[in-house]
Chains A and B, each alone.
Chain A
Amino acid sequence: MELKGIAASAGYALGHVCFLKEISNDFAATVLPEQREAERERFLAAQVKARLALEELKEKAAKTMGAHQAEVFAAHQMMLEDPTLMEGIFEKIDSASASAEAAVSETVETIAAMFSAMNDDYMRERAADIKDIGLRLLRILQGIEDAAAYQGILAAQDLLPSDTASLDLDKVFGFVTALGGKTSHSSILARAAGIPAVVGLGAQLAELKDGDMLIVDGHAGSVLVNPAQEVIEEYRLRQQREKQLAARLAEIAHLPSVTTDGYEVELAANIGTPENMTKAVAAGAEGVGLFRTEFLFLDKTSVPTEEEQYQAYKTVLEALPKGKIVIRTLDAGGDKQLSFIGGLKEENPALGLRAIRLCLVYRDVFKTQLRALLRAGVHGNLHIMFPMIATLEELRTAKSLLQEAAAELTAEGVVHRKDVPVGIMVEVPAAAMLADELAQEVAFFSIGTNDLVQYTMAADRMNEHVATLSDYFQPPVIRLIGQVAKAAERHGKWVGMCGEMAGDVLSTPLLLGLGLTELSMNARSIPLVKYRVRQLQQTDAKELAEQVLKLSTASAIKAALENFSTRFAD
């Protein structure tokens, strides 16, 4: 039997299925009056266990996921012992002889409903926190084992953040879930941990029985149930080949990324928090091509201080003291709302006040960031990058604010870097068309393909109905990239790319042929891209690029690239 789902995380996993035990809803709603005292005791015992589990999660999160996640669990701990929650629960047990389960779930529902009804996005999201606490208590009350005990291929309706945080990832080697998509929490975690996963199986999940032998094909998005012996052999072989390739990739991890005819490309990492640096360095990143600074700002109730930002930037710069570190200034607005600015209601947020546009309005916020960047600049090879520049005026205003920040620091006698190279992200067609003029006033370009595709094709990148348009192999996108690269070359500036396309090994020869000299991607993609770069000849890549620029459909372009890459089949 074969089940079809969504390929959420690549790789093959073979093993027995093990179901995440779900909470049962058919617990007794009430108990006898004389059992009230016992129910109170059951709740208090569950609360103690939950507190200890959260304490453990908090410590684990602080080490592996960063301070922010740890803060979330600390907040959960506080809520767990909150008098409103406890009074609600005791009241239900005492006055209505509710069972501990019923008292917990009703009280949590009431509180969650209160948060959900509030006129504030931030507060509405707190409903999820209280529900998570409720589920944790219910599990303990129902004697459901801790997620850390699971082994094999884990099957579940969906995985909660607190489930996945407590799994022992040395014992769980695949996920299959009924719900979720490529960007759901469980998928992101699976990819980060390198565990094959197929999600979105829907009702098909019910076909599985505890102990079934499964093959999870994270490339094809399929799950084979109790396959024949020869199929198992075949997949073991594929798994082995994948491991061999991984071993070869590990061998070249720290060799230079240079083509057989000597064209050097810098492979850099995209990172979201300073903690990501460890992985980036391990994957062989020579630098950071995109450090998204949003994590400092999103979910925060106040503007992060200059000192807080300085420390974060310094950490990243010091992790790769010689590598080039491109830090992007605050890219918020649109789908990334800042709670301290307040809900900005826009008809078309993607076309509204976001990225550099937002920063040029909230200048205090921007200036604080620029000051922190300049101060951190003395600790490494800092490059500053402005997102979503569309006009020369925007660039000039942003640069003059940077100069103001530097002048302030000088006047205050604060140590800072004076010669930080400044570049822009090219992610709107306007910037690509103005590339010649912009190139004269920047040190570099970095092409942000995700937004460039969205704005060139006028197709929302999150909208599945227009997914075929949202494709970086669409000819207009490729041509704009070529145009930007040419403009940069004419003015002696370097040009890189950050975004999905940079990490797609199929596009590597094309990007080199177009003249890009830096590719920045998720750390996990670096080894394979480097492997490909080292097999390539730049002269061939140039020929390929010239041919591709003449093609007029995305499918023709993809076919040409696939055809080209067959010569590297290993």
Chain B
Amino acid sequence: MATLKELSKFEERFVGGHRLCAGCGHGISVRMVLNAAEDYNVVVGCATGCLEVASTIYPYTAWNCSFIHSAFENAGATISGVEAAYKSLKRQGKIDKDFKFVAFGGDGGTYDIGFQSLSGAMERGHNMVYVCLDNEAYMNTGIQRSSATPMGADTTTSPAGKVIPGKQQPRKDLTAIMAAHNIPYAAQTSISNWQDVHKKAKKAFDVEGPAFLNILSPCPRGWRYNTPDIVELTKIAVETRFWPLYEVENGKWKLNYKPKKYVPIEEFLKPQGRFRHLFAPGNEHVIKAIQEEIDNRWLALLSRCGEPQELPAK
């Protein structure tokens, strides 16, 4: 594992001057992922979303590499086209340089509207990395719920009201769905652990064939937490098992981190304004449901990873 001293010497691929909000998780995630591409030539594709609109306001680009955005729901397909062109041109001897291909999409562009295009690209086996920057709602249009939005979250289309306390459904487990495509590499990671992100991004770039990374990438505005606390918050997400760190390499599931003790989900919910209403009297059942869902999914994950099925000690 390279040290930060070494990693800081690679060229910066995502430069300052982009218009992402102060403290946006995407800026951190993108820099970490592209840093793992080291000296390779990279073509980045992007789904429409915060990252794309904030990084390429004409005539500026924050991308210090080739970049293409075409629409919201097709980052997977667009980058497959780029990769197909690379294969074809390379085979014909029309180009000689080596390239890596990466597509970034938010959870809207990945879990929802871009799901079909992503699934197709993975099934076809393009040599590309798809990175989902999961901030758990449609943030670019102003915080609407997506299928990645956790149960109970207050968004502008799942508002916490007098009758309905936020989003009613638990999140879609996209990482597992991508693993079910039997691609060489699928992993879930969190920026709280930069080594984990780096290791996984590097693996994703190195494998032959499609790779998928799901990164928990908080949105200060949508989650309503204290902006500087992004690392603590994503760390609690891992400790509460809300966002487990795991990878699936050639069909083999591996848990990358097992919390020592049982940290209740309240620890993750409390610092965030989007869950504030859950702590009002009468909404205890929602927190209970969230916790049950997390515990059930954790046990299922342990089973997939061949770990003993037990919850951490309380």
Judge: A and B partners, yes or no.
no
